[in-house]
Amino acid sequence: MRGPVDAARDRTLRRLDERLGYADMARTALGKVFPDHWSFMLGEIALYCFVVLVATGTFLAIFFDPSSSLKVYDGSYQPLHGEDVSSAFASTVQLSWDVRGGLLMRQVHHWAALIFIAAITLHLCRIFFTGMFRKPRELNWTVGLTLFVAAIFTSFAGYSLPDDLLSGTGLHIFYSTLEAVPFVGGWLAYLVFGAGFPGPYIIGRLYILHVFVVPVAIAGLIGIHLAVLIRQKHSHFAGPGHRDSNVVGSRMWPSYALRSLSLFSVVAAVCFLMGGLVQINPVWVWGEFKSSTIMSPSVADWYIAWVEGALRMFPPVELHFWGFTIPDQFWPAVLLPGLTFAVLYLWPFIDRRLTGDRGTHHIAAGPMSSPRRFAIGVWAIGFYSILLLAAGEELIVQLSGATIETVRDTLRVCVLVLPVVAALLAHRAASNHVRREAAEQQEESDETERELTESPLWIRWGPQDEDEEHDEDDVGDAESQQDEEPSTDQSVRG
């Protein structure tokens, strides 16, 4: 039975709708259709990891002291008791040992960052292999790629904050990389660090970038990414009833919303399980950063380790001209990452130039539908995977017993040969796949044409035979299937 409260609520909502028109917006949003394929969940996994990162990062920011000034450690970790260490390192150890739940939050934050970048990487791979960077999604490819760069940078900044031995080693490599930029490297390194390495300012500057500037930028990029996606409508894979003009899948409310909420719960649960059960980055074991105590082996997080692997693999080549020097770090640490991301940003236009395809695509292509794109993607995965492996060459030496020279020379041969071999095999497999599909389509077309030729309608006289009755039954089944077709969004934009 409706009471005065219900009537007042309805009246208020009606007046708001008359002024804001929110009912139509809500009806459109809740009726939006999302594809059901699992790979479309990768972007959502990244989004939910970002939520976990913001929540745990807020907790950590309460206790962390982003200062390089020295203080006497007086926390619970006895081996450090009474030693002069930086405030950043002391607060990180105290957060891990003396703050209730602090170690759990630190580790959840670290694992969530790794999963966050992994999900974005896999999401970008899906977009690349299915050709969904093509028109009209060039803008969203650029936004997603910028989001990827921002995620790598803020993760590296957070990794560098504790001022422990590993983070200091990473910052030392970063400083050397900036110095390796031709002509302006020294000025650039001084501008970023504010002094020679390590200097008293870099931790405070990275802290502001890590907790405020870059996360706000990431939130803005996520908003733009979603707005463009909604405006252009979702892509989907080929299948029965799937067309460029529709989206086949589940509506936002209630099925997709409940599924997405479940995914968020799973992502959060995995992050907390990893943080609670799998130790990561125990900074009290490494100790405070001192250049003289860099340990071996030391490996950066995976999303930046491929640059370290390139630094180890590339031969020492320096160029000297007109009084300037291009140091050997320039090629693997500046030129290679710069070329990598330049090619990625330009890839939609490179692909258009190579294929001549200027059409609009809303149905995702099969990964092997384009042999050239498939081969290039396989080459890139192989090449950067071997660079990533090279970052842990000292671990390989420990496990294999081989000398460091043998391991390094072997990896140098592998990084030049294996990706090319893999790309050639991938191109051949994709070409066979394309030919096989074309043959099957041609066979189906010939079969249809033969049936029409052998049973011309104009010679059918008298009552229908048994086959024709089956045809009618088939039509009836098809219509009933069409009635049971999943939800489709018939709106087409762009």
Residue 256 has pLDDT above 80, yes or no: yes
| pLDDT of 460 higher than 60 | no
pLDDT score, position 300 = 83
pTM reported for the whole predicted model = 0.87
pLDDT at 380 over 60: yes
Full 3-state SS string of the chain: CCCHHHHHHHHHHHHHHHHHCHHHHHHHHHCCEEECCHHHHHHHHHHHHHHHHHHHHHHHHHHCCCCCCEEECCCCCHHHCCCEEEHHHHHHHHHHHCCCCHHHHHHHHHHHHHHHHHHHHHHHHHHHHCCCCCCCCHHHHHHHHHHHHHHHHHHHHHHHCCCEHHHHHHHHHHHHHHHCCCCCHHHHHHHHHCCCCCCCCHHHHHHHHHHHHHHHHHHHHHHHHHHHHHHHCCCEECCCCCCCCCEEEEEHHHHHHHHHHHHHHHHHHHHHHHHHHCCCCCHHHHCECCHHHCCCCCCCCHHHHHHHHHHHHCCCCCEEECCEEECCCHHHHHHHHHHHHHHHHHHHHHHHHHHCCCCCCCEECCCCCCHHHHHHHHHHHHHHHHHHHHCCHHHHHHHHCCCHHHHHHHHHHHHHHHHHHHHHHHHHHHHHHHHHHHHHHHHHHHHHHHHHHHCCHHHCCCCCCHHHHHHHHHHHHHHHHHHCCCEEECCCCC
Mean pLDDT, residues 437-465: 70
pLDDT bin (cut points 50, 70, 90) of residue 1 is low
Q: Is pLDDT above 90 for 107?
A: yes
pLDDT confidence band for 406 (50 / 70 / 90): very high
Distance CA 189, CA 206 (A): 14
Most confident of 26-35, 249-258, 457-466: 249-258
pLDDT the model gives residue 486: 47
41-77 confidence digits (pLDDT tens): 999 999 999 999 999 999 999 999 999 999 999 999 9
pLDDT tens-digit readout, 261-319: 999 999 999 999 999 999 999 999 888 887 767 666 677 889 999 999 999 999 989 99
